[in-house]
């Protein structure tokens, strides 16, 4: 264990649930539930989250002038507890910039936003009930619009009723979606015309008011870079119309401004960060469906993105996106999009195929490969308790507002068990 305060058990050859249950004194049924296991089989390399009596974990980056005594005071813990949790750090010579762990009863206070598919008779309402205490905002996915700025609505009454009953704030997701894909042309046509833009803003504001939404989540993608100022103007007008209601923006990840880049050029982080209330940085597309097999969010990349984003935007407005899914790429001649699969199912696919899981230390991400029945090679990248913990560590040392999850329909029980133990979800 190496003094790890939170029990993450890496399965080795010869391990079984019975022996692991004995080591930690935790019932097999608990281990199965927390880790989303559907049988008692496990494979080497699998990371199991073992709930225990340890204190919640807080992460902190040492600044000039810090002492363990000072940190123990602000986190309501003891110097001894901090020293024990960080054996590699000399308490008399704290290295500035070092990231340490602080065992404390004070959980990290954060807000969460979860995307929810607005489907007729949605099968995910039950999931919302189960996770209600961990959800601040529910982004109802999604409304679109016509080239005249008229809204294309969804069936959301049951979802809104449920969210409000559970003290979850629903946000109306507005997107430049057309014919099952993001349309650069549609956004271009509306945003460059002040008249159409005004019509769209008025329609969004009146729908929010009519339905009793707590605000709006903007998810515009693939806008032409030349619409940059128009997009910023659209957000400014929308925020003015919404007043005290929440305006949240889903922003593609970038490590520098790149104003002419066809994917991220339209986003002026600094300008939009001053207008909106929350910016969710989408650090979940380093590895993407139509690209080569890659980790979805390697930590070295999320680090670069967060460093840039927090230099442009007030960090207390920034949320870090977390993926509740993995990708399974088929390595064939023709380009075929990877299959997007819930984390729990990705893990259980490895177990049922008796495929050992590798952990890439540089990316801090689990991966495996296998041959299917047709003899085709597959490569899989996903998140697990070990990789998601590395992300929460980054979220805390950057002191961000919280996390955005894509999306509620994908089961990832390890993540929600971690959030419940270590985070104080603000409502």
pLDDT at 5 over 60: no
Instruction: Please write the tens of the pLDDT for every residue from 202-229.
Output: 999 999 999 999 999 999 999 999 999 9
Q: How confident is the model at residue 124, as a pLDDT?
A: 83
Q: How confident is the model at residue 333, as a pLDDT?
A: 64
Instruction: Please write the tens of the pLDDT for every residue from 232-283.
Output: 999 999 999 999 999 999 999 999 999 999 999 999 999 999 999 999 999 9
Tokens matching residue 362: 């540089």
Burial of 167 (0-12, 13-18, 19+ CB in 10 A): exposed
Neighbours of 410 (CB within 10 A): 22
CA distances from 398 to 173, 297, 313, 393 (A): 27, 17, 12, 9
The band of 302, judged by pLDDT with boundaries at 50, 70 and 90, is: very high
Residue 392 phi, psi dihedral angles, 5° rounding? -65, -30
Q: How confident is the model at residue 123, as a pLDDT?
A: 72
CA–CA dist 376, 132 (Å, integer): 41
Pairing of strands 169-175, 177-178: unpaired
Q: How confident is the model at residue 336, as a pLDDT?
A: 84
**Cβ 112 vs Cβ 403: under 8 Å:** yes
CA–CA dist 113, 108 (Å, integer): 16
CA–CA dist 422, 269 (Å, integer): 30
Average pLDDT of the chain, as a whole number? 95
Instruction: Please write the tens of the pLDDT for every residue from 323-372.
Output: 999 999 999 867 689 999 999 999 999 999 999 999 999 999 999 999 99
The SS3 call for residue 54 is coil
Q: How confident is the model at residue 52, as a pLDDT?
A: 87
pLDDT at 3 over 90: no
**Cβ 221 vs Cβ 176: under 8 Å:** yes
The band of 1, judged by pLDDT with boundaries at 50, 70 and 90, is: very low
pLDDT at 185 over 80: yes
pLDDT at 127 over 60: yes
% pLDDT > 70, the chain: 97
CA–CA dist 53, 55 (Å, integer): 7
Residues ≥6 apart with Cβ < 8 Å to 159: 116, 118, 122, 125, 128, 138, 140, 170
Which structural domains are found in the chain, ordered by start?
A: 7-50 (3.10.350.10), 57-103 (3.10.350.10), 108-324+385-425 (3.20.20.80), 331-378 (3.10.50)
Angle between helices 194-211 and 184-191 (to 10 degrees): 100
The SS3 call for residue 425 is strand
Supply the DSSP string of 204-232, one letter for each residue.
HHHHHHHHT-SEEEEE--S--GGGHHHHH
Instruction: Please write the tens of the pLDDT for every residue from 375-392.
Output: 999 999 999 999 999 999
% pLDDT > 90, the chain: 93
The band of 121, judged by pLDDT with boundaries at 50, 70 and 90, is: low
Q: How confident is the model at residue 66, as a pLDDT?
A: 96
Q: How confident is the model at residue 332, as a pLDDT?
A: 80
Instruction: Please write the tens of the pLDDT for every residue from 35-84.
Output: 999 999 999 999 999 988 888 989 999 999 999 999 999 999 999 999 99
Residues ≥6 apart with Cβ < 8 Å to 29: none
Q: What is the pTM of this model?
A: 0.95
Tokens matching residue 156: 């959301």
Q: How confident is the model at residue 4, as a pLDDT?
A: 41
Segment 123-150 mean pLDDT: 94
């Amino acid at each position: 264990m190496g003094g790890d305060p939170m029990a993450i058990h890496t399965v080795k050859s010869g391990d079984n649930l019975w022996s692991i249950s004995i080591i930690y004194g935790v019932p097999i049924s608990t281990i199965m539930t927390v880790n989303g296991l559907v049988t008692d089989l496990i494979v080497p390399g699998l990371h199991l989250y073992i709930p225990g009596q340890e204190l919640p974990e807080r992460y902190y980056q040492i600044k000039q002038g810090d002492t363990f005594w000072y940190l123990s005071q602000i986190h309501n813990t003891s110097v001894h507890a901090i020293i024990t949790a960080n054996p590699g750090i000399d308490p008399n010579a704290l290295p500035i910039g070092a990231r340490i762990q602080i065992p404390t009863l004070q959980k990290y206070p954060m807000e969460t936003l979860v995307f929810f598919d607005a489907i007729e008779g949605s099968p995910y309402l039950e999931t919302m009930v189960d996770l209600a205490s961990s959800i601040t905002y529910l982004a109802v996915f999604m409304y679109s619009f016509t080239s005249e700025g008229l809204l294309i609505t969804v069936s959301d009454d049951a979802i809104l009723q449920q969210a409000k009953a559970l003290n979850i704030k629903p946000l109306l997701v507005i997107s430049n979606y057309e014919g099952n894909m993001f349309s650069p042309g549609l956004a271009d046509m509306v945003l460059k015309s002040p008249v159409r833009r005004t019509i769209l803003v008025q329609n969004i504001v009146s729908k929010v008011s009519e339905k009793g939404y707590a605000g709006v989540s903007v998810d515009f993608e693939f806008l032409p870079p030349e619409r940059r100022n128009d997009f910023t103007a659209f957000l400014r007008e929308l925020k003015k119309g919404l007043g005290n209601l929440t305006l949240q923006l889903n922003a593609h990840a970038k490590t520098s401004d790149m104003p002419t880049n066809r994917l991220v050029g339209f986003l002026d982080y600094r300008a939009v960060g001053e207008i909106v209330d929350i910016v969710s940085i989408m650090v979940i597309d380093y590895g993407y469906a139509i690209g080569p097999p890659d980790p979805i969010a390697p930590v070295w990349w999320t680090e670069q993105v967060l460093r840039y984003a927090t230099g442009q935007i007030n960090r207390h407005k920034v949320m870090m996106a977390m993926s509740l899914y993995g990708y399974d790429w088929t390595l064939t001649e023709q380009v075929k999009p990877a299959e997007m699969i819930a984390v729990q199912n990705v893990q259980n696919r490895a177990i049922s195929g008796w495929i050992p899981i590798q952990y890439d230390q540089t990316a801090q991400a689990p991966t495996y490969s296998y041959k299917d029945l047709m003899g085709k090679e597959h490569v899989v990248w996903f998140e697990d308790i070990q990789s998601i913990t590395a992300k929460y560590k980054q979220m805390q040392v950057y002191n961000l507002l919280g996390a955005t999850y894509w999306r509620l329909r994908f089961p990832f029980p390890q993540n929600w068990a971690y959030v419940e133990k270590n985070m104080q979800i603000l409502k």
